[in-house]
Amino acid sequence: TNGTTKPKTHMVDDSIVLTWSLGNKYALENDDKEQLLGKLREMKSGDKLAIMINKDNTPMMRIFNAADVDGALRFTEDIFAGDNGVAQGLTTFVNELLDGANSVQSEVQTNTGKSPNLAVTEEDTKEDTDADIPIPSPQAPPKSQRGVNNTTMAT
């Protein structure tokens, strides 16, 4: 991304409803997790997410601002001074959803320090194959050459 992409609002189909419950927990009302994940993966810092939130049996389209914080999406809302419980709960829910979907990828990529949502590049796969090539490394001399200390090992 060259920084020229304008922030955009990602409208989640209103058949996808997140039910809010006490403790700012969310549940997906239907099983269309893939469509939701597709939208979430497209999101960039500065974008907005419009999604149906069912709070107290009143489904309502709510708009959240997305920011990228340390490689994870963080949501705030313009109402309630931004960082309200509903937005915090959404942040937790979305990142757990993305982490769950990416858990297979992230096992490979957590060591590289890259965000788990990034696609595996050729470079990443090259790293893995390099590990199979024996690289000469400095080794301790064989025990017979270590001198007098080789008998003090058993303590």
Q: Is residue 132 part of a domain?
A: no
Domain that holds residue 88: 9-108
Q: Is residue 137 part of a domain?
A: no
Q: Is residue 149 part of a domain?
A: no
Q: Which among 51, 66, 56, 48 has a CA at the least distance from the CA of 20?
A: 56
87 against 104, higher pLDDT: 87
Percent of the chain clearing pLDDT 90 (strictly above) = 46
Q: Is residue 98 part of a domain?
A: yes
- Kindly indicate the confidence band of residue 22, based on its pLDDT and cuts at 50, 70 and 90: very high
- Taking only the tens place, the pLDDT of each residue in 86-98 is 999 999 999 999 9
50 against 147, higher pLDDT: 50
Q: Is residue 148 part of a domain?
A: no
The structural domain count of the chain equals: 1
